[in-house]
Amino acid sequence: MCQQGLGHVLGLAFGIGPALTEGEVGVLHPRPLEDFQAAVARLPFAVAHRDRPLVQPRSHDLGDDVVAIEVEDAGTVDAGADFDVEHGRDASGFRPSGRNWNDPDVSPSLPAAVVFDNDGLLLDTESVWTRAEEDLFEAYELEFSPADKQELVGTSAEIAGGILERRLGQPGRAEALIEELNVLVVAELEHGVEAMVGARDLLEALRERGTPIGLVSNSPRVFVERSLQLAGFESHFDVVLSAHEVAAPKPAPDPYLEACRRLGVAPSPEVVALEDSPTGVAAARAAGLTVIGVPSVAGVALEEAHLLAESLLDTTIARRLVL
């Protein structure tokens, strides 16, 4: 095993085989792992530096210059050994090798299940919410700004109520304001909703393969079910869960933990969650899942996601889901 503290891993375990001697260079094999520990099956475990800041482990960030590392004090460990892994974004010193971390020789394992967020991830319901939010602000003679949207996206009813209280100058009326917003958004939904680009093909590919599929949303169940009906997705999921059905909504892990329980899978990095908001990313990570962030609102960063994709058509998603 290489010396502790040589660098930061950013949520990836690097298994290198065969075992290397000190100073040898090997191909990097990234794979998801839990936030702070990794089980390594008799493979050297390396932590290294990179020569410039790394914001996210995306394929287009890691592409051509993160692929080989120099190993010091290489060795092996017993299967199931645990390591404390430090997270950070100030790693430096990777040596370019001209090969991509998505090398076809490095194949991710099939996911045990895939769990989707709804609003803005699978369906373009975020625009429905935006129109309802604009109507609510207009009723109080205020303008709904992009900053307001960034603050509200993906939040639970409790958090959103507090934001609305403050922004609309209506202290003590959080619950009433959320009810007003829910009425507006359900009415707006009846004008129709479109699937996000690539959503239908992605769901059908997973269903055809037999991968368990779940949906987890912070929105009220009546909104979730109606939006799925309008998009023709009501029969595509093994489990549909509103965060209103559990003790705590996202960003708590409860919705994802309950979805995994209903799907019959253990919450682990082998379960992949797709999210478009920091709230959702935090919830899925807290549940121990591998998270792919797919931003849908300009200005919203998903820095804590394990992987980032520009859309559901991004090859990063297809590769991680082995499609």
| pLDDT, tens only, 54-86 | 333 433 334 433 333 334 444 544 444 444 444
DSSP class per residue in 197-229? TTHHHHHHHHHHHT--EEEEESS-HHHHHHHHH
Q: What is the pLDDT of residues 230-243, one digit of tens each?
A: 999 999 999 999 98
User: Which region, left, alpha or beta, applies to residue 141 given φ > 0 means left and ψ of -120 to 50 means alpha?
Assistant: left
Sorted by where each starts, the structural domains of the chain and their CATH numbers stand as 1-98 (no CATH), 113-123+194-320 (3.40.50.1000), 125-189 (1.10.150)
The C-alpha atoms of residue 64 and residue 50 are separated, in whole angstroms, by 13
N-term to C-term CA, the chain: 33
Distances (CA, A) of 129 to 132, 184, 256, 294, 296: 5, 9, 23, 18, 13
Q: What is the pLDDT of residue 158?
A: 82
Specify the range with the lowest mean pLDDT, choosing from 94-108, 114-128, 179-193, 200-214: 94-108
Is pLDDT of 300 > 50?
yes
Residue 286, classed as helix, strand or coil, is helix
DSSP state of 145: P
Residue 126 has pLDDT above 60, yes or no: yes
Give the residue carrying structure tokens 């290198």.
16
Instruction: Give tens-digit pLDDT for 268-290.
Output: 999 999 999 999 999 999 999 99
Q: Is the pLDDT at 19 greater than 50, yes or no?
A: no
**Phi/psi at 275 (5° precision):** -140, 155
pLDDT score recorded for residue 310: 94
| Residue 122 pLDDT > 70 | yes
Whole-number Å distance between alpha carbons of 300 and 39: 33
pLDDT band at 297 (very low <50, low <70, confident <90, very high): confident
Confidence of residue 160 (pLDDT cuts 50, 70, 90): confident
How many C-beta atoms lie closer than 10 Å to residue 149's C-beta? 18
Mean of pLDDT values over 6-21: 39
Look up tokens 């922004």; give the residue.
167
- The model's pTM: 0.61
Distance of CA 120 to the CA centre of its chain: 13
pLDDT score for 150:
82
pLDDT at 98 over 50: no
Of residues 80 and 205, more confidently modeled: 205
Q: What share of the chain is helix, strand, coil (3-state, %, to 5)?
A: 30, 15, 55
- Cβ-contact 142, 207 below 8 angstroms: no
What pLDDT score was predicted for residue 154? 66
pLDDT score at 27: 43
Least confident span in 19-33, 39-53, 123-137, 273-287: 39-53
Distance in angstroms (rounded) separating the CA atoms of residues 46 and 72: 8
- Alpha carbons 308 and 60: distance in angstroms, whole number: 9
Task: Compute CA distances 123 → 9, 86, 129, 225, 232, whole Å.
Answer: 33, 36, 12, 12, 11
SS3 172: coil
Q: What is the mean pLDDT of the chain?
A: 75
Q: Which residue has the higher pLDDT, 32 or 128?
A: 128
Mean pLDDT of 2-9: 34
Tell me which of 259 and 152 has the higher pLDDT.
259
Q: Tell me which of 56 and 183 has the higher pLDDT.
A: 183
pLDDT at residue 130, as a whole number: 85
Kindly tell me if the per-residue pLDDT of 167 is higher than 70.
Answer: yes
**What integer pLDDT is reported at residue 104 of this predicted model?**
39
Look at residues 146, 153, 177 and name the one whose alpha carbon lies nearest to residue 164: 177
What's the token pair of residue 80? 């199931």
Among 181-190, 223-232, 287-296, where is mean pLDDT lowest? Answer: 181-190
Can you tell me the mean pLDDT for 17-33?
44
Q: Which pLDDT belongs to residue 107?
A: 60
pLDDT higher at 37 or 150: 150
Q: So what's the pLDDT on residue 128?
A: 83
The pLDDT of residue 187: 87
In the predicted structure, residue 50 carries a pLDDT above the cut 80: no
Amino acid at 218: N
Q: Which residue stretches of 93-198 are H helix?
A: 125-139, 146-152, 157-168, 174-189
